[in-house]
Amino acid sequence: MARFIREFSKGYNQELMATERICVLGLGYIGLPTASILATHGFDVVGVDKRKAVIDHLRQGRTPIEEPGLNTLVEAALKSNHLSLNDEVQEADVFMICVPTPHENARADLSFVREAAQSIARRLKPGNLVILESTVPPSTVEKILIPILAGSGQKIPGDVFVAHCPERVLPGNILTELVTNDRIVGGIDELSRERAKAVYGRFVQGEIHLTDCTTAETVKLIENTFRDVNIAFANEVEAVCRKIGINAWDVIRLANKHPRVNILRPGPGVGGHCIAVDPWFLVEAAPEEAKMTRLAREINDAKPLRVIAEIEQTLKNTGKAKPALLCLGATYKANVDDIRESPALHIIEHFSKRRDLTFMVADAHAKNLNHNIPSVALNEGLSKADVIALLVDHKEFLSLDWPGLRSRKGAENILDFKGVMP
Ligand code: SAJ
């Protein structure tokens, strides 16, 4: 069998690949753009999601995610007839796992990865390639994915190729980064790496770097942890500057004029399904060693509580029995619809329980906001509010008349947690 695979791989050229069938499991923030881009680059792709509603929406031409250019890409992929949709895994040459890996009490919940692997195992044939794109703790491929796939009866390594190619795209800029970013491809053997590289080589313009699976898993976690630690430092700088009584945004802006300093931006906390989660996978792998990683998580997780305290104090200072508070933004970051792990939402949920204030939230992007959150149109909120707290720097907030609002409401009642005010 190993010889067959070697021979098979030798003849594995671009022409053959163009006719290959790829089954992408999970049509979320990563799977949907990836399936679509593979389809528009000539592969026959089956996009699979067990959530029937997602499949129905896509069939009706409705893309369930706000992401620049995604609607057009999905439409083009479907029209090309190279992308079909299904709620069950189908036979294929290549399987790509793009399912979420949430965390539960600082430990990775790999149930979606396991479930995806089990459904692939039922259809696995010699010569197939399985690629894991989901972010996972170190050694997941070796200790979890391969044993499940081996349940199919195939010999691994040997009969089947397995690779880990962690996604690295930035929500809000996914379509560009899918093409331009370098990729890390970890494989269980050389043939796995080469085959996975050939798949990504169809659309990736960045460099494709080859390594083993555990290294690839760890690289991905280190990237997001690096960003989390840098943001934690920015949040710490903000707290220090507040204590000293100076403007943290000015301090960071000026420090960054140094050629080797690049401090990120303080904010109301760190959210999303990646940076707020992935560092915990490192802590889980090496709890004694990953001290700074844990501390950064704790600093960033505690930030919404500091924001809440500051808003509370400002409300109190108005002296009104029932002041009106407007929160600007609910999503985890600017210009996306995603509210997962959103620090803004955490803050909003706190105030939505209060009966001694008129509470309003303006966010035209946020999807799936709980119905007990009182959404208002931006202008209505701005005119009614006594206190305004900017939590997300959506583009429509950047161009607000901040000097005018400051003079109308009182500068002390405008709280800018993203540093957008001129
Ligand atoms: N944030 C700050 N200050 C900053 C930058 C971000 O407070 O200076 C906050 C954001 O407001 C947000 C959170 O951090 O709440 C995360 O936002 P982000 O834009 O930094 O990152 P994500 O989670 O949208 O995407 C990250 C990216 N990782 C890196 O840049 C190293 C992306 O490339 C990954 O593919 C993605 O995680 C992922 O899926 O892992």
Q: What's the pLDDT score for residue 227?
A: 98
Helices (H) and strands (E) in the chain, counts: 18, 14
Q: Which residues contact 414 (CB under 8 A, 6 or more apart)?
A: 387, 388, 390, 402, 405, 406, 421
Ligand 1: centre distance to CA 275 (Å): 6
CA angle (342, 234, 302) in 5-degree steps: 45
Ligand 1: centre distance to CA 206 (Å): 20
Q: What's the pLDDT score for residue 11?
A: 44
Alpha-carbon distance values, 222 to 196, 201, 218, 219 (Å): 22, 24, 6, 5
Between the two ends of the chain, the Cα-to-Cα distance in Å is 66
Q: Which residues contact 341 (CB under 8 A, 6 or more apart)?
A: 271, 272, 273, 276, 277, 332
Q: Which residues of the chain have pLDDT under 50?
A: 1-16, 18
103: DSSP letter: E
Q: What's the pLDDT score for residue 3?
A: 45
Q: With a 6 A CB cut-off, is 224 part of the ligand 1 pocket?
A: yes
Q: With a 6 A CB cut-off, is 282 part of the ligand 1 pocket?
A: no
The residue with tokens 């399985």 is 130
Q: Which residues contact 215 (CB under 8 A, 6 or more apart)?
A: 186
Sheet of 129-132: strands edge to edge? 83-86, 44-48, 21-25, 94-97, 129-132, 161-164, 183-187, 208-212
Q: What's the pLDDT score for residue 264?
A: 98
> Can 220 be counted among the known catalytic residues?
yes
Angle in degrees, 0-180, between the axes of helices 213-244 and 248-255, rounded to the nearest 10: 130
Ligand 1: centre distance to CA 258 (Å): 23
Q: If you take atom 32 of ligand 1, which residue's CA is the nearest one?
A: 170
Q: With a 6 A CB cut-off, is 123 part of the ligand 1 pocket?
A: no
Q: What's the pLDDT score for residue 19?
A: 61
Instruction: Identify which of 132, 173, 332, 333 to mutate to test ligand 1's pocket (most ligand atoms within 8 A of the CB).
Output: 333
Q: With a 6 A CB cut-off, is 223 part of the ligand 1 pocket?
A: yes
20: DSSP letter: -
Angle in degrees, 0-180, between the axes of helices 291-317 and 278-285, rounded to the nearest 10: 140
Strands 324-328 and 208-212: unpaired
pTM (predicted TM-score): 0.93
CA 89 from centroid of its chain's CA atoms? 24
Instruction: Identify which of 224, 256, 277 to mutate to test ligand 1's pocket (most ligand atoms within 8 A of the CB).
Output: 224
411: DSSP letter: G
Q: Which residues contact 216 (CB under 8 A, 6 or more apart)?
A: 164, 165, 166, 184, 185, 186
Q: If you take atom 34 of ligand 1, which residue's CA is the nearest one?
A: 168
The residue with tokens 């583009």 is 395
Q: With a 6 A CB cut-off, is 391 part of the ligand 1 pocket?
A: no
CA distance 390 to 394: 10
Q: What's the pLDDT score for residue 13?
A: 46
Alpha-carbon distance values, 397 to 102, 266, 364, 390, 407 (Å): 30, 17, 11, 8, 17
CB 351 within 8 A of CB 359: yes
